[in-house]
């Protein structure tokens, strides 16, 4: 192995020491959390001629019993290309994106282009949210897990683990 190769790996030592190594589709129990936005994945797909944007924020819990665990929403924020008379608020993915952006800047954000810019630039920011349940008509024993974004936190002091 070359010195350059080892140098690249050595530069990742600090990040690796705090990584959540669990890849188990972890979702914390229902309740309030202080989290840091640690990633925002975006992508596109197309089916039957309809393009769909996909946004998947990743959150790291920064306090309490589940501190250090990361999770993503139960479903990505899927945003299909609007066709016809539908308004974008009829699409839950757009609502989720708008609510997260609104939380980050403390003002209502309705423009989806502005919202994705705010959310992607929000990586590293701290927010408070609530993970709440809502009924799942198809599977009553497995309720939907919904995120309610409350507000951006100006500063969070993480306790040593």
Q: Looking at residues 132-153, what average pLDDT do you find? A: 88
Quick one: pLDDT at residue 26? 80
Cβ neighbours of residue 26 closer than 8 Å, sequence gap 6 or more: 20, 69, 70, 71
Given a contact cutoff of 8 angstroms between Cβ atoms, the answer to whether 60 and 68 are in contact is: yes
CA distances from 56 to 74, 87, 100 (A): 10, 22, 12
Task: Tell me which H or E stretch contains 117.
Answer: helix 112-121
Quick one: pLDDT at residue 139? 87
SS3 62: coil
**pTM of structure:** 0.77
Given a contact cutoff of 8 angstroms between Cβ atoms, the answer to whether 141 and 43 are in contact is: no
Neighbours of 106 (CB within 10 A): 9
The residue written with tokens 């409350």 in the block is 150
CA distances from 51 to 21, 82, 113 (A): 33, 9, 16
Domain residue ranges of the chain, discontinuous segments joined by + = 29-153
Quick one: pLDDT at residue 16? 58
Quick one: pLDDT at residue 62? 94
The residue written with tokens 């819990």 in the block is 61
pLDDT tens digits along 44-79: 888 888 778 889 999 999 999 999 999 999 888 887
Given a contact cutoff of 8 angstroms between Cβ atoms, the answer to whether 133 and 146 are in contact is: yes
pLDDT tens digits along 88-141: 444 778 888 899 999 999 999 988 889 999 999 999 999 999 999 888 888 888
- State the Cα–Cα distance between residues 115 and 108, nearest whole angstrom: 10
Q: Looking at residues 130-154, what average pLDDT do you find? A: 88
pLDDT band at 83 (very low <50, low <70, confident <90, very high): low
- Whether residue 156 is predicted with pLDDT greater than 80 in this model: the reply is no
Quick one: pLDDT at residue 70? 92
């Amino acid at each position: 192995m070359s010195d350059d190769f080892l140098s690249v790996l050595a530069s990742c030592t600090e990040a690796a020491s705090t990584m959540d190594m669990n890849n188990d589709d972890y979702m914390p129990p229902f309740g309030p959390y202080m989290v840091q936005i640690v990633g925002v994945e975006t992508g596109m797909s197309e089916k039957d001629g309809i393009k769909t944007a996909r946004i998947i924020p990743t959150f790291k819990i920064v306090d309490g019993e589940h501190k250090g665990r990361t999770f993503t929403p139960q479903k990505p924020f899927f945003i299909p290309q609007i066709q016809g008379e539908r308004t974008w608020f009829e699409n839950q993915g757009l609502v989720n994106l708008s609510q997260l952006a609104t939380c980050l800047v403390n003002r209502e954000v309705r423009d989806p282009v502005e919202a994705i810019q705010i959310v992607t630039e929000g990586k590293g920011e701290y927010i408070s949210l609530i993970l709440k349940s809502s009924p799942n008509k198809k599977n009553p024993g497995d309720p939907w897990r919904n995120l309610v974004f409350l507000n951006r936190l100006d500063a969070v002091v993480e306790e040593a683990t």
